[in-house]
């Protein structure tokens, strides 16, 4: 029986393990936290990701390794790759961990990106502001996700505050132009060991406080924009020699696409594929990593994923709907923490809109959720097939 090792034991590892059970797979997760939620289902090796003794034990117990978040040290992934198969390849992980390398890759591949500039010193920041313009966002090049490690500059007087917030610690930074986008989109794609590439339909996403709040799939996009997004994802995958599932996050601006970043793993905006696609992102990631044939990425209908952050609402608000599916990650509630999600599925947009309306009414105590659902319902009702 094949054992898959996962560096990281969060909800993504948990969902990978659940998807792998029907394939007859065993799992081992390695995480530094004692209460990693994936460990509620699979064995865990608790250790620091840089602990070579622990990595050696991990390697001895698995047949192939992957990871469930991009902040696993690339050096640790490379150390493992010299001993066992590791997918995605560590070099792809290294690019995704550095926002400057990531943006440079996009540019070199002819994929449009917002204006950006490297920032290593206080003087660099002043020059970057003059080059990129304001408003802009100063970001750490490494680490940081869900809105962390960022500072928004609106005026010249923000330069000092931004530098003190992020630059005083000598972190490598990047300044990016603030994009007045129309909406946020993502492509969830998978590339097999033999180079076969497949992608799920483009997904539309809404964020609150830098954290994904809801996703709607398939997004309301024309065939030209859809193909442009898929072509960009395929170019990235080929350039990186990528194996597995990844997400390409995009901004739509006046009918054109700008690449924001890549996530070298299964992705929050692809959770809808569990119930809403013929093959989920989690199953296809495992198929790719193991060298198995990829499954169909076609949508089964229409789907909306709702992210639960901080605490879970009453599940009956979703489960009372015949379209509702519930996912509790087994995490203790905490501000800003992803603790679960729900997915609504329907054969057509009208039925999905009706389900969204019903759930919005049941969750009316939450203005944020109700607001997001109202926007999704409007999008669903006004959507026309290209």
Give the pLDDT score at 109: 98
pLDDT over 70, % of the chain: 92
46-59 mean pLDDT: 97
Give the pLDDT score at 356: 86
Residue 272 pLDDT greater than 60, yes or no: yes
Q: How far apart are CA 12 and CA 247, in angstroms?
A: 13
Residue 375 pLDDT greater than 70, yes or no: no
Closest CA to 116 of 86, 93, 95, 138: 138
What is the DSSP track for 343-368?
Answer: EEEESSHHHHHHHHHHHHHHTTT-HH
Q: How many angstroms separate the Cα of 67 from the Cα of each of 228, 246, 252, 314? A: 28, 12, 29, 31
What digits encode the pLDDT tens for the residues 315-362?
Answer: 999 999 999 999 999 999 999 999 999 999 999 888 888 888 888 888
Residue 370 pLDDT greater than 80, yes or no: no
More confidently predicted of 165 and 381: 165
Give the pLDDT score at 147: 56
The CATH number of 3-86 is which of 3.40.50.1450, 3.40.50.20, 3.40.50.12280, 3.30.365.10? 3.40.50.20
111-128 mean pLDDT: 94
Q: Which of 68-72, 113-117, 124-128, 188-192 has the lowest mean pLDDT?
A: 68-72
Q: What is the overall mean pLDDT for the chain?
A: 91
Give the pLDDT score at 323: 92
298-309 mean pLDDT: 94
Q: How far apart are CA 54 and CA 32, in angstroms?
A: 11
The fold of 183-382 is: D-amino Acid Aminotransferase; Chain A, domain 1 (3.30.470)
What is the three-class DSSP state of 340? strand
143-149 mean pLDDT: 64
Confidence of residue 36 (pLDDT cuts 50, 70, 90): very high
Give the pLDDT score at 98: 93
82-95 mean pLDDT: 96
More confidently predicted of 180 and 60: 60
Give the pLDDT score at 63: 98
How is the chain split into domains, by residue range?
3-86, 115-177, 183-382
Q: How far apart are CA 378 and CA 356, in angstroms?
A: 10
What is the three-class DSSP state of 41? coil
Residue 385 pLDDT greater than 50, yes or no: no
Give the pLDDT score at 386: 35
The CATH number of 115-177 is which of 3.30.1490.20, 3.40.50.2000, 3.40.1710.10, 1.10.3720.10? 3.30.1490.20
Residue 278 pLDDT greater than 90, yes or no: yes
57-80 mean pLDDT: 94
261-285 mean pLDDT: 97
Give the pLDDT score at 54: 98
What digits encode the pLDDT tens for the residues 198-256?
Answer: 999 999 998 888 899 999 999 989 999 999 999 999 999 999 999 999 999 999 999 99
Residue 26 pLDDT greater than 60, yes or no: yes
């Amino acid at each position: 029986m094949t054992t898959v090792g996962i560096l990281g034991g969060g909800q993504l590892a948990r969902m990978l393990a659940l998807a792998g059970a029907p394939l007859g797979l065993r799992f081992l997760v390695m995480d530094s936290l004692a209460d990693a939620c994936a460990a509620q289902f699979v064995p865990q090796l608790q250790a620091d990701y840089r602990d070579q003794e622990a990595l050696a034990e991990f390697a001895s117990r698995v047949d192939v390794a992957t990871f469930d978040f991009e902040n696993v040290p690339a050096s640790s992934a490379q150390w493992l790759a010299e001993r066992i198969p590791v997918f995605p390849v560590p070099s792809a992980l290294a690019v995704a961990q550095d926002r400057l390398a990531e943006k440079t890759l996009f540019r070199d591949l002819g994929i449009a990106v917002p204006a950006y500039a490297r920032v290593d010193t206080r003087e660099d920041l002043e020059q970057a502001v003059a080059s990129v313009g304001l408003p802009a966002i100063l970001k750490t090049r490494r680490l940081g996700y869900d809105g962390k490690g960022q500072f928004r500059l609106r005026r010249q007087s923000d330069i000092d505050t931004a530098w003190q917030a992020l630059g005083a610690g000598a972190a490598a930074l990047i300044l990016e132009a603030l994009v007045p986008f129309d909406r946020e989109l993502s492509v969830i794609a998978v590339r097999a060991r033999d180079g076969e590439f497949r992608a799920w339909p483009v997904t539309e996403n809404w964020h609150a406080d830098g954290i994904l709040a809801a996703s709607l799939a398939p997004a309301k996009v024309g065939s030209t924009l859809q193909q442009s997004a898929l072509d960009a994802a395929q170019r990235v995958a080929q350039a990186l020699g990528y194996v597995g599932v990844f997400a390409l996050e995009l901004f739509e601006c006046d009918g054109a696409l700008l690449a924001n970043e890549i996530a070298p793993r299964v992705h929050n905006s692809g959770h809808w594929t569990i119930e809403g696609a013929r093959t989920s992102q989690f199953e296809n990631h495992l198929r790719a990593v193991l060298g198995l044939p990829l499954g169909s990425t076609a949508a089964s209908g229409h789907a909306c994923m709702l992210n639960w952050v901080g605490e879970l609402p009453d599940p009956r608000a979703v489960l009372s709907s015949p379209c509702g599916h519930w996912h509790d990650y087994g995490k203790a509630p905490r501000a800003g923490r992803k603790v679960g999600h729900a997915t609504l599925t329907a054969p057509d947009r009208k039925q999905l809109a009706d389900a969204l309306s019903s759930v919005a009414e049941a969750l009316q105590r939450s203005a944020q959720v109700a607001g997001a659902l109202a926007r999704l319902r409007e999008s669903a009702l006004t959507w026309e097939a290209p």
